[in-house]
Amino acid sequence: MNHPAQQDASQRPEPFDPWASVVVASDVMAATTDGAAGLAARQASRLASLVAHASQRSPLYRRMIGACDDPASIRLRDLPAVRRPELMRHFADWVTDPTLDLDSLRRFTADPSRIAEAYGGRYVVWESSGSSGEPAIFVQDAAAMAVYDALEAFRRPMLRPLRRWLDPWCLGERMAFVGATEGHFASVVSLQRLRRLNPMLSRRLRPFSFLQPLPQLVAQLNAWEPTVVATYPSVAVLLARERRAGRLSFSPQEIWTGGETLLPAERRLTERTFACPLVNSYGASEFLTLACECRFGRLHLNSDWVILESVDERGRDVPPGRPGASTLLTNLANHVQPLIRCDLGDRITVGSQACACGSHLPVIEVQGRSDDTLRLGPPGSAVDILPLAVCTVLEDDAGVFDFQLIQRSPSELLLNTPQTGPAAAEALHRAQAVLRAFLHRQGVAEVHIHCASGKHAQLGRSGKMQRVVIGS
């Protein structure tokens, strides 16, 4: 008998349920204009359903929750917080489908040719290392994907309303996603899944890798001439600089950013350079679309489908208006891989006042990690190196996840890891070779990469660890 992941790909249906998608989309649209009481009722009902399912089907959560005769009586704050490494160590007991095998999933995500392929014909799978420095795998069924699809489609503000009404499926657009395209990351898996589900849209939506040398990326984007660009804030800033230098010639009409902290100066630079609006969103591998901006530029949490608790250093609730030390996430959509009070590591501030846009969805401010874009090489021929590209290369090609890269000068880098011993030395040696080869492909000919083990990372402005930083 073949394992589900070994079945012929042509026999696997996409993890897409049309009826569930219609039902969820209707609910998301209705909830958008709902009052606070209606949103709270939706959240409470879904939390009770999640707790009941997890306590019955997940051995790990059964031990944490205990006997659960009345799920509606469970108070979230009475349940323990969990961390991603702990969940991954107990993967078999964590998931509610016992056929999900971690080794098989790791082999699946190690093959880039299977990005967005339906695992076992039933599941969408993506991977992430995140700020924990330890890789994780996330599994979603069609019901969870219906929620993510609806939130992305109906909660993102329409920057050009008339255009969207005339072309709701974006068939007249040329859309570009610029990011890491070779791994099973949430953003590219979601994009490629959308292309598989909608062949007409697939011709209008293309991914572009930010791991290639910048001149090649610029040439590809100029040839495609996208009207919509979806990318990370650091990439948007880099493209704006290329536009100001006269090397980027296309004129997008919308820019969508997410995945990193967007600073006000970065927004101003991008919008002024391209003379088009920018909309930002907040998401995570644990929940794809946590919050979207309204027309006033404020992030609104999708609280009908996800719960974020802002907590202090001791795990206690932080009142609205004050930043927390970390954030606990509860995903109300994913019953296959329950996430109840999972520590994200991000710092958020929950708004204390209603937004002028009229939405009753809570307003949040996110103080996430903000890595630095490196600039290497002599003056006049220096090359910008994106921090996300560096992280992707070190994680995927070198298998190194717990690190910090510090730029000391235009030709000198320091690669640190808190690990010690022979294994750490071997990992650093491997990472040094991989990083040197990557920088050479980017056009950085001479750079000295020093390595050190047993070195703990410096913290950035947000209080979170910066993995790529310009320092001394």
DSSP 458: P
Per-residue model confidence (pLDDT) at position 300: 97
Closest CA to 260 of 462, 406, 112, 417: 462
Centroid of chain to Cα 230: 13
DSSP 379: T
Determine the Cα–Cα distance for residues 341 and 61; give it in Å rounded to an integer: 11
Q: Is the pLDDT of residue 461 over 50?
A: no
Determine the Cα–Cα distance for residues 81 and 63; give it in Å rounded to an integer: 13
Per-residue model confidence (pLDDT) at position 12: 45
Cα 255–296–165 angle (5° rounding)? 60
Altogether, the residues listed in the chain come to a count of: 472
Average pLDDT over residues 291-295: 94
Q: In a 3-state reduction of DSSP, which class is residue 352? A: coil
> Is the CB of residue 365 less than 8 Å from the CB of residue 351?
yes
Per-residue model confidence (pLDDT) at position 463: 46
Average pLDDT over residues 264-288: 94
List the single range of 10-14, 230-234, 271-275, 294-298 with lowest mean pLDDT. 10-14
Determine the Cα–Cα distance for residues 435 and 415; give it in Å rounded to an integer: 10
DSSP states of 228-246 as a string?
A: EEEE-HHHHHHHHHHHHTT
> Is the CB of residue 347 less than 8 Å from the CB of residue 327?
yes
Q: Is the pLDDT of residue 460 over 60?
A: no
Q: CB count, 10 Å around CB of 129?
A: 21
Determine the Cα–Cα distance for residues 294 and 360; give it in Å rounded to an integer: 12
Per-residue model confidence (pLDDT) at position 108: 96
β-pairing verdict for 363-367 and 347-350: antiparallel
Domain boundaries, the chain: 12-367, 374-470
Percent share of the chain, pLDDT over 70: 92
Determine the Cα–Cα distance for residues 28 and 458; give it in Å rounded to an integer: 41
Determine the Cα–Cα distance for residues 219 and 241; give it in Å rounded to an integer: 15
> Is the CB of residue 467 less than 8 Å from the CB of residue 410?
no
Q: CB count, 10 Å around CB of 109?
A: 20
Per-residue model confidence (pLDDT) at position 456: 74
The residues facing 138 across adjacent strands are 126
Which amino acid makes up residue 29?
M
List the single range of 154-168, 232-246, 407-421, 428-442 with lowest mean pLDDT. 154-168
Query: What is the overall mean pLDDT for the chain?
Result: 89
Give the N- to C-terminal CA distance of the chain in Å, as an integer. 58
Determine the Cα–Cα distance for residues 428 and 451; give it in Å rounded to an integer: 6
Average pLDDT over residues 455-462: 59
Cα distances from 178 to residues 27, 77, 123, 226, 238, in angstroms, run: 31, 39, 25, 11, 11
Average pLDDT over residues 284-293: 95
Residues 396, 399, 400, 401: what is their CA dihedral angle, to the nearest 10 degrees? 70
Architecture category of domain 374-470 in CATH: 2-Layer Sandwich (3.30)
Beta strands in 75-133 (DSSP E): 124-128
Q: Please identify which residue in the block is written with the tokens 């235009």.
A: 410
Per-residue model confidence (pLDDT) at position 201: 82
Q: Is the pLDDT of residue 134 over 70?
A: no
Instruction: Specify the higher pLDDT residue, 200 or 95.
Output: 95
Q: CB count, 10 Å around CB of 23?
A: 14
Mean pLDDT is highest, among 87-91, 256-260, 458-462, for 87-91
What lies within 8 Å, CB to CB, of 387 at 6+ separation is 234, 371, 372, 373, 374, 467, 468
Q: Residue 335's pLDDT band (boundaries 50, 70, 90)? A: very high
Q: In a 3-state reduction of DSSP, which class is residue 44? A: helix
Kindly report, residue by residue over 155-214, the tens digit of the pLDDT: 988 888 777 677 766 778 899 999 999 899 999 999 999 999 888 888 899 999 999 999
Per-residue model confidence (pLDDT) at position 69: 66
Task: Determine the angle formed by the axes of helices 18-32 and 142-155, rounding to 10 degrees.
Answer: 40
> Is the CB of residue 270 less than 8 Å from the CB of residue 278?
yes
Does the domain spanning 12-367 belong to CATH 1.20.1090.10? no
Q: Is the pLDDT of residue 372 over 70?
A: yes
Average pLDDT over residues 53-79: 85
Cα distances from 381 to residues 117, 156, 277, 410, in angstroms, run: 41, 39, 31, 11
Determine the Cα–Cα distance for residues 142 and 77; give it in Å rounded to an integer: 29
Per-residue model confidence (pLDDT) at position 328: 97
Q: What is the pTM of this model?
A: 0.86
Q: Residue 370's pLDDT band (boundaries 50, 70, 90)? A: low
Token pair for residue 380? Answer: 């006049």
Kindly report, residue by residue over 19-52, the tens digit of the pLDDT: 999 999 999 999 988 899 999 999 999 999 999 9
Percent share of the chain, pLDDT over 90: 68
Per-residue model confidence (pLDDT) at position 247: 96
Burial (CB count <10 Å: 0-12, 13-18, 19+), residue 256:
buried
